[in-house]
Structure 1
Amino acid sequence: MTLIINATALLADIDVETDRTDAVQSFVKQETVLVTLTTADGLTGTGYAYTIGTGGSSVLALLRDHLLPLLAGRDARNVEGLWRSLFAHTRATTTGAVTSLALATVDTALWDLRCKRAGEPLWRLAGGHRREIPVYDTEGGWLHLGTEELVESALAAQQARFAGVKIKVGKPHVAEDAERLRAVREAVGPALHVMTDANQSQSLASAVRLAAALEPYDPYWLEEPMPADDVSGHARLPP
């Protein structure tokens, strides 16, 4: 009864309500890839992943042409085993976002089925015990926003009792990033966490300069300073 009898995928393009820009890209639209899995006992699980404007059709093709056909007749309860099976089937392309996104849609659909069958929310079924966790706001920190807008958004997040805010960095001049962070820090005070995100836009040398310029304003972290595959650069990045 828990065997998968149907697996489908579709792509839904969702236009963004406002432009969003970071140091390396723009959020053009949300290409949402949805996978639906149906089991013999009538349960349906849905999983999804998304891109910000490119690659969605490639994820969809990988699912339809290579991954979903492998799920027919398989036991949906075997979440880890199915993930490993699909991973092995795509080993030649596993390095990169396209395969990761495709695998994620199936994985989350299987977990959706598992939770529905157990009648429990995901956080409890996965072993969680906290009913509340701190969250931070990233919506008001995009790189294209002016300093005044950053400050207004940060103050609004603080008023709404967010634990922190995230500010995009990667302006043409380091001084611009430092000034934007300074303005936010002075507005919200020392208690609010202020994270920063360079979106993999820096070299080792520029990441070191950027971190030094931001340090006086107590950033909680500097996220993705360099490209993820720059292993040697990360190894040399000062702690």
Structure 2
Amino acid sequence: MAERSRQLSFDLPIDPQLGIDDFLVGASNEDAFSTITGWPDWPSRRLHLSGPHGSGKSHLAATWARRVGAHVIAATSVTESAVPNLSVSGSLVLEDLDRGELDEHALFHLVNVLLEQDGYLLVTSAVPIDRCGLRLADLRSRLRLAPTVTLGEPDDALLKAVLVKLFIDRQLVIDASVVAFVAARIERSFEAAARVVAELDREALSRGRRITRPIAANILPHDGEQVAADEG
């Protein structure tokens, strides 16, 4: 009974662990990880970190920002009046360049100020700079000069490790066999992993049960495999 109680899914706050030691490294992200953690030995004072949503861009950017004392701000939040405060530390993380409406003139001013100060700029987006929808040619030209490091989608081993971390972040205990079952049946992406873990958490909570293979099979795409009914 004690073991069962520990494995129940409670409505507890999600507590993602975002230290550098909590970042899961695999073949798809080791170059980006090495570059970020290799600061200040960067190829340039500007760096573009690219990868799909949920791939760990914000995690890596946050650990770098803590290390160097950089401001972190969404690109959509940059305004002309904010430029002096954002540039005062000499280092900046500019997140999600490809998401939402931008004040491109303010961004251009901010980038120029950082360059004049020999500061460091880390820009994140899910797509290459040329696909971020920038209309201001001067801004696009400045940011194109930043070397790009890319986080790819996970391989099987990394996907399983990510699933385990996502369950731990939700304070859930789950058998390795269930993790393998889930990993084999979802799209190989960080976004899909996060989505299915949230769905499994809700399903287990609604049943007052731990997460089992039958529960997982109930919400995952069917592939013809017969899974024994959950016996309660």
Q: Give the structure-2-normalised TM-score.
A: 0.29
Query: Which structure: greater strand fraction?
Result: 1
> TM (normalized to structure 1)?
0.29
Structure of higher RCO (CA pairs closer than 8 Å, 6+ residues apart): 2
